[in-house]
Amino acid sequence: MNLIIILLALGFLMFFAYRGYSVIIVAPLCALFAVFFTDPSYVLPFFSSIFLEKMVGCIKLYFPVFLLGAIFGKVIEMTGIAERIAKVIIRFIGEKQAILTVVLMGAILTYSGVSLFVVVFAIYPFAAQLFRQANIPKRLIPATIAFSAFTFSMDAIPGSPQIQNVIPTTFFNTTVYAAPILGSIGALFIFMSGMLYLESRRRKAVKIGEGYYGIGKHRIIEQEPANEIAATLDTSIPMPDVRIEVKDWLAFIPLVLVGVLNKIFTTFIPKWYADGFDFAAIGLEDYGVLNLGQHLSLWSVELALLVGIISAIALNFEAAKEKFKVGLNEGISGSILATMNTASEFGFGGIIAILPGFAMIQQTLSTTFTNPLVNGAVLTNVLAGITGSGSGGVSIVLGIMADKYVEAAAAFDIPLEVMHRVVSMAAGGMDTLPHNGAVITLLMVCGLTHRQAYKDIFAITILKTAACFAVIAVYLLTGIV
């Protein structure tokens, strides 16, 4: 019965998320449903002392990253930097390489710290025009954007400031550059397999004569659908023979600064606070000693994003000044929603973790998968898939299992950097099931339905999940970190 209660709570969360209900309200209700059927007298104490405590702890740690990432993305969009980056890529790759162009642009923006949701809105207009010009089926656009932003650039490439790569740092005292060689191998595996898949789908479409709008009974639309996000259709794509100007190259400066300064701050902050920070030394005994290991990567990402925002505004001050108020408000609203979604799922996981049924699940997985790398990959994929959120899945797993993974890693002589990279990559595996918020947003932006376009997104999801276990195999065979 305890196990059934847990599975019902998870099932309800997945069902209502798929139906479009916000997890901000659904997650606590599902968690308290499980508590009620375990012992009704536990409901109010568990809500106040466990759910809210876990939720607030998540907000405390990660809200600045969500906030600055969203604002950075809006600044990149409204200053025209995204359009100039597209111009450079198209100039050197060519408009006929539409899939590769979209993949590279999405990867650059994601790796530079732009929120995944913002990346979808930023690159869709370019993808739509490029695919139309190359007569590639529109139904492949969502999978191409998902591949560019939700996979290798999000959590495999070392140094990514995306939240899925940041969360493990606070549990393992690692940095976002954890296991650089292993992560790079995983990213290469994902990139090559994903590009092969997308190109095979394009070639198959050419073979049967399918164009941008489909063919025969598979014809999607006669023209752009009314439910396509109108605001994303205003951007013009520069032709590949247009001369690249100096200001086009300057557009890369904010993105490069975020990546470089992230590394610099990761190196120098420990030197600035060599002995941590003792509040008692300045008369604030109640605040104790700050754990630098838990905050190092967060501070590094936040400072790097802040510099990136300032530099992006400086590059096109007039455009930023004109749209800054609206863009800032939109970025803040988006970041609050993203933070609350993740925090609510974190609170849900905190309650589920202490219920008797979860102990059974944990025991089963621990018995079946004794290696902590495999255990972490499986459990993170499962919970990320159930919650429809990579950040939510990894938050739940590490909130429950981090201490056990640290102990098991020491017993198996596995560096915590490797644990970080595997769990981070697993967070971006099965999270893109149909009820995932980013997937729903992506399809909405493209004006397509799950039936029309989700099959290829799911194929990319399978490749990404397989990459996580491929990385484990590489480590076990070679010991590369």
Give per-10-residue mean pLDDT for the chain (481 aa): 84 74 84 91 92 88 81 80 78 80 87 74 77 88 94 90 88 91 95 96 91 67 45 47 74 83 84 82 83 77 87 84 80 79 80 81 73 92 79 82 91 95 93 76 79 90 94 94 91
Residue 320 lies in a domain: yes
Q: What span, in angstroms and rounded, lies between the C-alpha atoms of 468 and 384?
A: 14
Provide the residue range defining the domain that includes 291.
1-217+242-478
Report yes or no: 431 and 153 within 8 Å, Cβ to Cβ.
no
Residue 234 lies in a domain: no
Number of domains in the chain: 1
Q: What span, in angstroms and rounded, lies between the C-alpha atoms of 392 and 390?
A: 5
pLDDT, residue 116, reads 75
pLDDT, residue 228, reads 46
Residue 416 lies in a domain: yes
At 395, the amino acid letter reads: S
Residue 446 lies in a domain: yes
Q: What span, in angstroms and rounded, lies between the C-alpha atoms of 475 and 481?
A: 7
* DSSP tag of 479: -
Residue 161 lies in a domain: yes
Residue 77 lies in a domain: yes
Residue 222 lies in a domain: no
Residue 224 lies in a domain: no
- Pair of tokens at residue 292: 């630098």
Residue with tokens 């990432």, as numbered in its chain: 69
DSSP 346-397: HHHHHHHHHSHHHHHHHHHHHHH--SHHHHHHHHHHHHHHHHT-HHHHHHHH
Helix or strand (DSSP H, E) at 473: helix 450-478
Burial group, residue 36, by CB count within 10 angstroms (0-12, 13-18, 19+): middle
- Pair of tokens at residue 310: 């300032």
